[in-house]
Chains A and B, each alone.
Chain A
């Protein structure tokens, strides 16, 4: 690029509202405006609630038996998780975001960070919200700011405040200071209960108070990690577009080239490197992947759209040579002779835990149903993500109050036998 002026960009967090419930509502509009909860298969805990259910006092992650009476009394609708549906709807949202052409980082099944040009960020965000609502039926909230941590703050505000109409930009310094001065420190991304208690002991109760502390003080009493959070809160984006807090649900690795690339061999080299890097991160969180997504973006002057394709592996793996080989084959299919490209990338998805037994199509997946972690949504979603898993019955009825899967809605988008049926 010959231009020396740096294009200023803001970070947007796109976050689906009550994602599981929203997915159910697309295919069952009768659920709108009603209290609805979705239960996890494994533990019979509440893993999603509509706003109406939240207002009734049903908390996130509570065991079903604790709220059974309340649910029956208030006529709350209870559904079993339909991960095939949620995974597919998530794909649709992420694909729509990816087609915008800006840098994107898929953070979880229902969240993604985007880099938007500063000038038009708010109007782009509004268009995104409208588009996803119309085309997929999922309402999203979008927070725009100078860093990921602040984008999360803005997104949270966008979600809670109806006046924002789902989109909120937190950029101006005065506004930021004001908002952070009343934000409890434990509501900041990356600050959990333990940190909160320690911070409170030092008299730091709000995000604003944390920002005001000197760098030296933060490093001395806490860590570099908290210092980064403080910088992010102050408006300095330091979590790069590959860094998050916690294990990822997908790993995207890509870079824009310094110059246009035309040779397939060069593209392959770059892609290999990205696959290797992604696989490294995969192993560092003890995950295996069975889903590869490769995309190729032509230079702007070519006036051609980006192309991409995916590949579902039969067995989950973290073996770099195998992933590289598959990625290369996809690249070969996407490559067009004579075209200049500016970017190639790979996303690894559909994670499963390395310690789990690998399964074949002939035997029933032996997922560890006896997980104690209530919020183990990630693994559950990943197992169903590709829609390839056989539908397995819950293992053993440990508790008499455990919900059976018969309250699961049909797999409207991943099973030909379970399509939405309309009487006309």
Chain B
């Protein structure tokens, strides 16, 4: 099979699977080169990309302008960095439990944690699995 020399075949199979959300080709394609999708995306249908602006998560390695890989199929347990929605607004913070109370905690000393109370319209949108930072 000449898939390597036939660029018309090899590339669309990968690029399309991100755009269209369909599963990546089978694992047994040993001849094809390394695929970032395989590395970073466990649940293609439930994985989304978001861009962030701001510095509240700097100490977690998330810088302004970075792209986050967000997986909605992963359980949002304590310690995970999540994309959450509070009263209709999106945010990205670490989920922390202390003495039975839930907090959304920033990773920057200049910002304060927010407690999640029952009055709040709160939900977890997804779990951040990877941070894509452009080096140059």
**Chain A residues engaging chain B, CB cutoff 8 angstroms:** 29-30, 32, 88, 91-93, 95-96, 99, 134-137, 291, 293, 296, 307-312, 329-330, 332-334, 336, 386-387, 412-414, 416, 419-424
Contact = CB atoms under 8 A, between A and B. Distances in A.
B26 A32 contact: no
18 contacts: A29-B88, A29-B89, A30-B88, A92-B21, A93-B45, A95-B23, A135-B45, A309-B17, A310-B16, A311-B12, A330-B13, A333-B3, A420-B51, A422-B50, A422-B52, A423-B91, A424-B55, A424-B92
Interface in B71-96: 72-73, 83, 85, 88-93
Interface residues on B, range: 35 or more
B36 to A, nearest CB: 14
B90 A422 contact: yes
Given A30-B88, A311-B16, A413 B48 contact: yes
B45 A424 contact: no
B57 interface: yes
Contact of A308 (B23, B29, B46, B48): B23
Given A137-B72, A312-B12, A424 B23 contact: no
Contact of B45 (A96, A296, A333, A414): A96
A88 B43 contact: no
Contacts of B23: 95, 99, 307-309
B94 to A, nearest CB: 11
A34 to B, nearest CB: 10
B56 A312 contact: no
A413 B43 CA distance: 15
Contacts of A423: 52-54, 90-91
Contact of A88 (B12, B19, B29, B91): B19
B15 to A, nearest CB: 9
A408 B118 CA distance: 34
Given A91-B22, A307-B25, A310-B22, A135 B92 contact: no
Contact of B21 (A91, A308, A329, A422): A91
Interface string B30-46: 00000000000001111
A310 B52 CA distance: 31
B128 to A, nearest CB: 11
A99 B44 CA distance: 11
Contacts of B52: 421-424
B20 interface: yes
A327 B27 CA distance: 18
**Candidate in B3, B9, B24, B55 with the most chain A CB atoms within 10 angstroms:** B9
Nearest to A90: B21
A354 B76 CA distance: 47
A88 B47 CA distance: 12
Contacts of B106: 424
B22 A95 contact: yes
B13 A310 contact: yes
A307 B13 CA distance: 13
B20 A310 contact: yes
Nearest to B26: A307
Contacts of A137: 72, 125
A419 B12 contact: no
Given A293-B22, A424-B57, 14 more contacts: A92-B44, A92-B46, A93-B45, A99-B45, A135-B45, A137-B125, A307-B27, A308-B22, A329-B9, A333-B9, A333-B13, A333-B25, A333-B29, A420-B51
